[in-house]
Every structure is written in C-alpha cells, then in structure tokens.
Structure 1
C-alpha cells in the first residue's frame, strides 16, 4: 500500500511585504495600515517559523500534500516551498487560487512533484455575496499509480459580526459546494475519490456542515447504497471531546479546520483505490500554550499581540490515505 500524508494549515495572514509592487492598488487601499511594519525581515521570519513546523510533519519527512489558506500570492508561496525544498530535500510545487477576496488572502495546494503530477488540473468556483469571498478551489491530484484524488480547498466566510449573524454566508457556500460536488459525480462517476479540506469557520456539528454540505459522523449512512443523498464522512468529529481545537476563542475549543471524505474512500469495495487510514490534529508542544492549548499565533507588527516566535492562530491537521499499489 502507498501512503499519502496530507496536511491542511491556515497559515494566518501570510502576506507579501508592506507596499509590495506585486499588490494591486485596490488591495493596498483596502488593507491600509494593516500591514504597517510587515517588512522583508518579518516575512522571512514568518517563513522560517512555518517551515520549522512543516519540516516535522510525517516524522520529519515532510508532507506529501499540504493545503494552505491565508496566503496572498504566488510570491509568498514560492518563498515557502523554496524553504521546504531546502529543509526536506524534496521537490515541491504549488497551485493557487487567485480570488477577489477583499483582504487578498487565498488558498493553495503544495505537492511533491516526484510523487504526483506532472500537471494538476484545477478549477475555481467564485462565491459572491455582496462582495466576492474566497474561491472554492478544486485540484485533481494524479498519483504514480494512475489514480485520481480530487481535493477541494475551502476557506469559508468568517464569523466576523457574530457566529449567528454570519452563519447564512457559510450556509450559502455549503449549498454552492454541494451543487458543485453533484457536478463532479456526474463527470467523474459515483466512485470519485473526493477529499474536502479547509478552514470552514464552523464546527463539525454546525448546520452549514451537517445539513447543507451533508458531512456527518455516521460511516454507515455515508456508505449506504439505500440513500439518494451523497454524504461525506467528517473525520474530525472524533476529536470533539479531546479538549483541543484547531482554533481557540477565549476558553472555547473550535474544530474549524476539517477533512471530509467521500463514500468511495470509506467503501470496502476491492476495486476502489483510496482508503482512510488515520487522522490527527498536529499539536507539537511549541505550537500551543496555556491550559487550553491555544495555538501560538505570529500576528502582525501593527497588532497588540505580535510574537516573532509564533506560528499561526490555527493548528494544522493531518489525514493519511492508503492507496493500493499496482499489481
């Protein structure tokens, strides 16, 4: 069996430098003083800190696939994968969704070119409310065995303004994603291997996830051939009682970062290639602090809580998928 070690991490505001020539005037005007003091030295320190953690993934071998969000552009992703390639002696590449998000933060997928490829097929679905929000980003990963894993990266609208006030926006994105998934099944067949990953800004039990995206904690229902609806299995539900969250607000644990797998990845059919092996929240000691294991954030120089020794306000998560080797 071939193992695929897949990670997701919200990198917390991985911006290009203040007044970057690579930034549009619109974004410069909108961000205003948010990036005051965010210079080359601080950006490089952020990259160094992130790389020090990523280098420990997969027992110090590094991730095979890494989905990220809150990255501004190709320039900062290039910095990150250059550092990863040096630290891990691997050859990473990336694909990025350049959305019209008003803060200029996007999603990207980093992958080992010696294990996947050479080219990954990508699609973006733009979500429009009053203003554009982050795209849903679909990437087809082609394995060395000739199998296809469809990854969909998510960064749903935030809880700014309050959880309930902002909930309709996340429900809207969930409905769009559910529709999109139906189209994927129409094109790729009912046995398509689909992996959803992202910062959903809702917990596994919130109705945007359970009622609209239909990602649940019931393996039997996901695998059932007697239901018309195509459910996903939410692999993060098992961590609900573990007194740790990927994001901590006050003294409240939240599992905003999640992996969800399609029916084929849970199926026992011998003809299907990918199987769920394990999942975890990555909580290295340096990543958390305090009695609530709160992620050690990096912040920004213009903010009250700025920590050059920090990493992100979210913890990474991991899933391992097994793939049948060629006979």
Structure 2
C-alpha cells in the first residue's frame, strides 16, 4: 500500500517584487503602495523561510503534494520549488492565473515521480461575485504507476474583511460552487471517485458556507448514507482541541481544512483517507512566544519580519492507495 502525504498552506502574500515586469499595469494600480519596499532580498528571505518549513513536512521528506494559496504568479512558485531542491524531488507546478483583484492565486506543487496531469485536466471554477475573487482550482492527478484518478480542488474563499457576517454571502456562493463541481465530478467519473478539497475557507467547519452550502459533514455516516454528494470535513477534531490554523484577537480559528468524498472513505476509489492523520503543523520556530500560539508572520515592506513565516499554519493529511 502506497501512502500519499498531502499538505496545504496559506503562505501569506507571496508576491513578486514591487516593480515586477511580470505584473500587469492594472494589478500594479490595484495593489498601490501595498508592495512598497517589497524587494528581491525580502522575497528571497520569505522563500527561504517557507522552504525551511516545507522541507520538514512528512518527517523531513517533504510532501508528495502541496497546495498553496496567496501566491501571485508562476515565477514565485518557481522560486519556491527551486528552494525545495535539497529534498531531491521532481516538484512540478500546477497553477492558473485568476482575476482576483489582488492577484493572488491557488496552486499546487506535485512530485512528478508520483503524479501526472494529462492535457486538459486542470480547471478553474469561477466564483460569481461582484468583485473579482479567486477561482476554485481543480487538478485531476493520475498516480504513478497505477494511473488512478485523484481529484484535488484548491480553495481560497472570500475573506472576512468588512465583517464576518457582512461577507458571509460571498463564502456561501463559494460553498455552492464547490458542491456543484463535486456533483459534476461524480457524474463524469462515477460516484466512487476520490475527491479531496483543501484550502483556506475563511470560515470554520461549523459555519453555514461549509456545512449548508458545501455540504461538508461532521459525521462520516452522513456522507456514506446521503443520496446527495457530501464531503466529510476532517478538521472537526482540531476544532474540539481548540487548536487553530489561524489566530485572530486571541481566538483559535480553523480556517484551513481538508474535505474528502465518499470514495475516499469507502476505499472504493482505490484510495482511503486516514481520517485521524490530520495535523496542524506547528513547528516550534513558527510559534509566537506570547500567551497564544499565534503563527509568526513574515509581513512585507517596512513591516517585514525576516524571521517570520505566514499568518497561517500548514495542515497535512495522509491518503493510502491500494497496491
């Protein structure tokens, strides 16, 4: 039986440099002075900090598949991939530019020795909103050498800026979008297809965007017995342990989550999620020394902390594949 170690991390504003020629004039105007002082030295330091943590995942072997969000473009993803070279893996990039008003995207780094992506098997699912937001990014991975299908969907749902309640409708739309494409994937690939949704949902497992709109359940039996496509949210034990992936006003928030399909619970897909393997990866150097275990932010520009990492912790899960 082969084990797949999968991680996700909101890497917090991994932007290209302030005056990058790879940025459109429109995006440069939208960002304004947000990137003032964000130079190559700071970007290199940020990449080094992120890579240091990623290289420690999976007991020092690095993840087989890493989902990330808040990355601006393929260039910074390439820098991150190159910084992971000491792992000796053949990391490749799956990424699509979106219309997000801040230019930040969802992407994947995957080990080419373990996965392949056929032509035409990456999809950006547009989330309807008055102002541009990130798409849901679907990648149909084929595992090597079995050629089994593992569908992964990266998410970075609209933020809570302006108020959690005031912005809740946007995340409800994102939840409906995820549920819709989960159903479409089952129609195309069969009801036992392995689907793993991951990301920064900007809501917690008990919020309506996930429970009512994305149809993400707390109990596996509800997923197994439901007539409509449902997902099991693997983060509920983390909620019960009062362990956050993100901290705000000294509250632990579980915003980063893994959701798995029925096919990953029954094993009928050829894969089985180890539901108890989920971890919030809090390496000691990432944790603030204050009263609450906040992640140490890197920031940017004049406020950059070169010893920081991100305002989110990575999360990880293990999925087994039949021989």
Shared fold (TM-score greater than 0.5)?
yes
Give the CA deviation at 1:261: 0.2
TM, length-normalised to structure 2: 0.96
Deviates more, 1:248-257 or 1:171-180: 171-180
Answer yes or no: is the 8 Å Cα contact 1:243–1:292 preserved in 2. no
Find the counterpart in structure 2 of residue 314 from structure 1.
312
- 1:2-21 matched pairs, under 5 angstroms: 2-21=2-21
2:188 & 2:202 partners in 1: Cα distance?
A: 29
Find the counterpart in structure 2 of residue 286 from structure 1.
285
Unaligned segments of structure 1, at least 5 residues: none
Give the CA deviation at 1:118: 5.5
Give the CA deviation at 1:299: 0.4
TM, length-normalised to structure 1: 0.95
Deviates more, 1:110-119 or 1:154-163: 110-119
Find the counterpart in structure 1 of residue 159 from structure 2.
158
- 1:9-158 matched pairs, under 5 angstroms: 9-85=9-85, 87-117=86-116, 119=118, 121-144=121-144, 145-158=146-159
Aligned length: 318
C-alpha deviations, 1:85-111, integer Å up to 9, x for none? 2x2111100111210101000010100
Q: Does 1:272 align with 2:273?
A: no
2:240 & 2:269 partners in 1: Cα distance?
A: 32
- Aligned partner of residue 29 in structure 2, secondary structure: helix
Find runs of 4+ consecutive structure 1 residues off by over 6 angstroms.
none
Give the CA deviation at 1:146: 1.4
- Aligned partner of residue 240 in structure 1, secondary structure: helix
- Aligned partner of residue 210 in structure 1, secondary structure: helix
Give the CA deviation at 1:195: 0.2
C-alpha deviations, 1:116-135, integer Å up to 9, x for none? 11647201111231122101
Answer yes or no: is the 8 Å Cα contact 2:182–2:229 preserved in 1. no
C-alpha deviations, 1:265-311, integer Å up to 9, x for none? 1115xx431111221110111111122210111001244xx311000
Deviates more, 1:172-181 or 1:30-39: 172-181
CA RMSD of aligned residues (A): 1.1
Give the CA deviation at 1:159: 0.1
C-alpha deviations, 1:14-73, integer Å up to 9, x for none? 000001000000011111111011000100000000000001010000110000000000
Find the counterpart in structure 2 of residue 237 from structure 1.
236
Answer yes or no: is the 8 Å Cα contact 2:193–2:269 preserved in 1. no
Answer yes or no: is the 8 Å Cα contact 1:126–1:132 preserved in 2. no
Unaligned segments of structure 2, at least 5 residues: none
2:110 & 2:91 partners in 1: Cα distance?
A: 5
